[in-house]
Amino acid sequence: MSTEAKKDAALHLFLEAWKEREEEQHSLKEQEAFTLNLEISKLTKELENINKNINELVIENAQLKSRYNSAASENKKLEQFKANLLNSIQDQEDRPSLDFTPSVPQSPLLNFSSLTPRDRLIDGKRFFAESKSRLSYENFSKLLSYVKQFNDKFVGREQLLSEVSTIFGRENRDLYENFSALLSRTSE
């Protein structure tokens, strides 16, 4: 073989080797690109999940903030109610006592129906103690509620007497009369 043929053969071998090397490089690059695309796809899905979680947390945060604000508002109302209640209690303690002295010996529980009208003049504490002992828990609670509403000027005297008459009923008419008398004396 001549030198020229050897050169051509060497050049041909070199070009074939170069071409194979380029194909290998191209194949490797394609594999790397495929692997990178898979990784990008995986990371994209993870990012979507993270964004979804962020959105859920933002919504939950807004709901919690709303619940917190609502609870804070309720707490403020309760604090105001507590302050009003404490002021009301203090006002009642500061009022002069309506201590009507009965003309009969004091006993923890009196049978009001057996007393004469003059003897029925009693103080508020004894009246409420007797009412508590004779009324059901529910009716006694209603009585206290109506008295509170009257003291807070939410109901008038006539409405209070009407409601209280229903609470006492016929069997406790004497309690009603004493309540009416106490109410008249406290209104003076």
For the chain, the farthest-separated pair of C-alpha atoms sits apart, in whole angstroms, at 154
- In the block, residue with structure tokens 């002069």: 96
Give the side-chain half-sphere CA count within 13 A for 96: 5
Q: What is the pLDDT along the chain (188 residues), one digit of tens a residue?
A: 789 988 889 899 999 999 999 999 999 999 999 999 999 999 999 999 999 999 999 999 999 999 999 999 888 888 888 888 777 777 665 554 434 333 333 334 444 444 444 444 567 888 899 999 999 999 999 999 999 999 899 999 999 999 999 999 999 999 999 999 888 877 65
pLDDT of res. 105:
38
Domain chopping of the chain, boundaries: 1-95, 112-187
In three-state secondary structure terms, 156 is coil
Whether the Cβ atoms of residue 108 and residue 132 lie closer than 8 Å to each other: no
Q: Which CATH class is domain 112-187?
A: mainly alpha
* 185 half-sphere exposure, CB direction, 13 A CA radius: 16
Closest CA to 119 of 104, 109, 98: 104
